[in-house]
Amino acid sequence: MNKKLISAFLLSTAISCISSNLSYAAEDAISDASMVTYDKAYFVTFSPVTLLDMLQAVPGVPEILTKNRQQSRRNSFGGGQRGFGSGGDQILMDGKRLAGKANNIDDTLSRVSASQIDRIELIRGAASGLDVQSEGLVINIVMLEGISTSTTFWKVTGEYSGGHNFVPEFLLSHSGSKGNLDYTFSGERKDNDFFYNAHETFFDAAGTQTAIQDIAGDFGRDGYKFNTNLAYAFNDGSRLRINGLYEPSGNDGQEVRSKTTNTIDPITYITDRDMGKWEVGGDYSRDLGVLGNLKTLFVINRNTEDGDVNRFKGSGAAQFDYVRDVTTVNRTEKIFRASITKGIAEGQSLELGGEAAINTFDKSFINNKRQNALDNSITAVATDPFVIGNNDNVEIKENRYEIFAIHSFNISSKMVLQSSLTTEFSKIIADNIFVNASSTRRDTSFTYLKPRINFRYDFTGRDQFRIIAEKKVSQLNFNNFVTRFDQQEQIFKFGNTNIRPEQTWDFSFAFEHRLPNDSGSLEAEVFYRKYTDHISVVDFTEYYDAGLNLTDVNTFFGLNPDQTLIDYVDDQGTGFTAKSGNIDSAKAYGVKLKSSLRLGFIGVPQATLSLGYTYEKRTTTDQFTLLERTFDRHSDHRATFNFRHDITQYQLTYGFEGDVRSDQVRSYINSYWPSSPAANIKVFLEKTVFTDYKIRFEGEGLTKNRGASTYNLYNDHIRLNDLREVQEKLFRRPVELRISIQGTF
């Protein structure tokens, strides 16, 4: 499959290079290799209703939109971007990023009317004067100014998942300007239901089938989302923007597991989770004369969660709960950033500033179970009392401060060098609170130097070479500090409050060629990444030698331990135990190939095809087998595709997009879990009617397949090679059909 993907990419590249002169564009919008500008006239034939419609019509931009959505999801799970930093969103409005984390630019795009946009700029490589340092391509959206406007945008969406209910969603947004004030207010009703099913076949170590299990998941994820964006331009040229978000939501549903060997069948997991988040952010900029230009940003937010997952046996009147998991989370974040930028010489500028971030994360997990809950042979467990099985309560506070200097040097009309140095000081205090109110504390301080170099060289007006070298430090995911129950693997994953931030040195070399007449672009990038304090799953078992004295892991396995010694280790403390932790080093290297082509060379000038292929080899030392392996849940090969055809005379657009990934593996102290992800494909058709209204149809999950895997479970440590069971898993999903109607007035 991988050879075919590479061949297809190279073939499309060759065809485009040979046929580029036949490509069509109304006007060659390219002024140089570093910037392409699309003004309002370019979008007229596409009949856009929102800013998002405009961006979807620009070749190469959908990839950035997808990257932003993925970053938003990472932020919502507790990891993701570290403060504001010098990186972040590569989509700017008037040269500035949105001052928000939960309230992000991706949500804003669909609420801004196309009538409010002056032009869209695509900036490639290092560039001064922007709110972020480029990671390759920066999209800058320039708004219209000086015109009093008022626009209301509305959208109604309905989603049907095969075999389930039809679910509606609503969005209403009003934006406009009056004098020096620009404003947007929006409200949204969200209802993103989630369904899945799986078929599992169980085998013993000899390969004999022992059981079959069917799993069905049915979850409702609903809530409301209210946003506001205010911007005021003062007469002295300074500008203030304030953003707000309030989002209450919930996640409830059930997973039913029916297994042929269950004494009491089925087992049902019922989830009831309430979540809430709010955020206020803003930025202020002004010219301080001889001192330079001042930029300040701030964000204050809070996320809460209260969730119960109860496990039941049986059905109907005979159903009873036998395990209760209760999780509460309270997470806050306060970020403040300020800098002054000043020209220091011809073609040079220097930005000096600092950032402070104060994070708190309080999470508790309580597992209550009936005394005989895990013994399926006992049928009267409904009468047994509940006892605490696991209890973990962690309170975390992280204070982080950094000072930075960013130097931009326009060496010539063809060369730009941007360099920066950030010094970070951080302190983490993590308290484990026990049932008897006693506690243990981790109090750790870190200091990091984070240099960055970004060099851009424009060979011609269409050819650009980029080099980036950067030291990065990851944001810790504090969820790894607290114990949880993994429903997929049916085991407890214990927390570890001693995890250190992961550090990387990133190096990339990229070449990009833009075809004439705005007919597309071709890009190749080679990269290398070196990890220090890599976060992975680590063996925390206490090992003993033949004399029952504490020893190291290699000595233990070097003894070829007998069952008596294995049982002794298994009975001590938590037995054979793994947790998230740090390992000394790891590395990654690979290549990225991208092409975005208008298909004028085959007579379809209003169609665009984007292809991408990434080979990324991430290697580390398995902490259990001590063999070299790839990262957990990582695919070495990934191919993406996006096709869009605008039939402008009918104001009709259709297309498809998707990605294909190679096999991946999850490794644990007593399991080995290889899997084959299914391809994800989405198709769409949209039609603009009456100029200001658009109807869109979408289909996703058309293969009804989520992937397949083989779960190998061992009795104790995987290195003992004592296989207990093999589970063949096939995951399915329903076809999802969506229809939306949107418009402005």
Q: What is the CATH number of the domain that holds 260?
A: 2.40.170.20
Q: How far is CA 613 from CA 70, 250, 362, 425, in A?
A: 18, 37, 40, 38
Q: What is the pLDDT of residue 6?
A: 44
Residue 71: what pLDDT? 63
Give the model confidence (pLDDT) of 185-204 as tens digits.
999 998 888 899 999 999 99
Q: Which tens digit of pLDDT belongs to each residue from 566-576? A: 999 988 877 89
Burial of 129 (0-12, 13-18, 19+ CB in 10 A): exposed
DSSP assignment, residue 475?
P
Band of pLDDT at residue 40, cut at 50, 70 and 90: confident
User: How many residues does this entry show for the chain?
Assistant: 745
Domain interval for residue 100: 2-541+576-744
Instruction: Say if residue 1's pLDDT is above 50.
Output: no
pLDDT mean over 25-47: 67
For 714, the 3-state DSSP assignment is strand
Is residue 60 situated within a structural domain? Answer: yes
Instruction: Give the pLDDT score at 549.
Output: 92
- Output the pLDDT for position 11: 43
Measured CA to CA, the distance from residue 465 to residue 483 in angstroms comes to 47
396 domain-assigned: yes
pLDDT tens digit sequence for 135-159: 777 888 888 776 567 888 889 999 8
Mapped onto helix, strand or coil, the DSSP state of residue 534 is strand
What is the tally of structural domains in the chain? 1
Read off the pLDDT of residues 479-497 as tens digits, 9 standing for 90 and up: 999 988 888 888 888 889 9
Q: What is the pLDDT of residue 7?
A: 47
Flag whether pLDDT at 610 surpasses 80. yes
The answer, yes or no, to whether residue 422 has pLDDT greater than 90, is yes
**Span 14-39, mean pLDDT?**
51
> Mean pLDDT in the chain?
86
Asked if residues 290 and 265 have their Cβ atoms less than 8 Å apart, the reply is no
Asked if 128 and 292 count as a contact pair (C-beta separation under 8 A), the reply is no
Q: 499-540: per-residue pLDDT in tens? A: 999 999 999 999 999 888 888 889 999 999 999 999 999 999
In the chain, % of residues over pLDDT 70: 89
- pTM of the entire predicted model: 0.87
Alpha-carbon distance 441 to 433, whole Å?
Answer: 9
d(CA 110, CA 182): 17
Look at residue 446 in the predicted model and tell me its pLDDT: 94
Q: Give residue 20's pLDDT.
A: 40
Residue 571: inside a domain: no
- Summarize the confidence of residues 319-339 as an average pLDDT: 93
Instruction: Give the model's confidence band at 176: pLDDT under 50 very low, under 70 low, under 90 confident, else very high.
Output: confident
Average the pLDDT over each of 23-32, 136-145, 319-328, 720-729 and give the range with the smallest value.
23-32
Residue 516 forms part of a structural domain: yes
Quick check: is 698 in a domain?
A: yes
Structural tokens at position 119: 């032009």
pLDDT (0 to 100) of residue 133 = 74
Reference 615, options 628, 630, 626; nearest CA is 630
Res. 745: pLDDT tops 60: yes
Q: Is residue 30 part of a domain?
A: yes
The answer to whether residue 118 sits within a structural domain is yes
Residue 437 contacts by C-beta under 8 Å, 6 or more apart in sequence? none
In-domain check, residue 164:
yes
Q: Give pLDDT, residue 649.
A: 86
Helix (H) or strand (E) holding 40, with range, is helix 40-43
Determine contact, residues 168/193, Cβ cutoff 8 Å. no
Q: For 257-294, b where at least 16 C-beta lie within 10 A, e where not — what string?
A: bebeeeebbbbbbebebebebbbbbbbbbeeeeeebbb
Write the CB contacts of 560 (distance below 8 Å, at least 6 apart in sequence): none
When comparing pLDDT for 34 and 240, which is higher?
240
Q: What is the pLDDT of residue 79?
A: 52
In the prediction, which pLDDT does 599 show? 87
Strands across the sheet containing 91-93:
35-39, 117-124, 137-143, 91-93
Q: What confidence category does residue 86 fall into, taking pLDDT thresholds of 50, 70 and 90?
A: low
Six-digit token pair at 626? 């001590």
Q: Decide which of 318 and 281 is more confident.
A: 281
Smallest Cα–Cα separation from 307: which of 350, 250, 347, 258?
250
pLDDT score recorded for residue 530: 97
Please give, one letter per residue, the 3-state secondary structure of 159-183. EEECCCCEEEEEEEEEEEEECCEEE
Q: Is the pLDDT of residue 52 over 60?
A: yes
Q: What is the mean pLDDT of residues 279-286?
A: 92
pLDDT over 60 (residue 23): no
Note whether 274 and 311 are within 8 A (CB). Answer: no
Least confident of 109-123, 501-515, 662-676: 109-123
